[in-house]
Amino acid sequence: MEKLKAIIEKENIIGYDAMGNPITESQYIQEMDILIKDIDNGSAELYTTEEVKKSIINENNLE
């Protein structure tokens, strides 16, 4: 029973990435754990909403 439970939990799809690939619960948790560690040690690249808007506008020549 535990083996079946592990398989089901491992394959629990919780969403899809921008390319349409499934994201499992375990993948999401692993990626969030890495991001939290990067934020805590100061190595994560974080952007404000304005910075993201400007980047999108500039990359798509919208101005």
pLDDT (tens digit, 9 = 90+) per residue, 38-61?
999 999 999 999 999 999 999 998
What residue numbers bound the domain in which 55 lies? 2-59
**DSSP code at position 20:** S
Domain count, the chain: 1
pLDDT(31) > 70: yes
Global pTM?
A: 0.59
pLDDT(7) > 70: no
pLDDT(8) > 70: no
Confidence tier at 26 by pLDDT (50, 70, 90) = confident
10 within 8 A of 24, measured Cβ to Cβ: yes
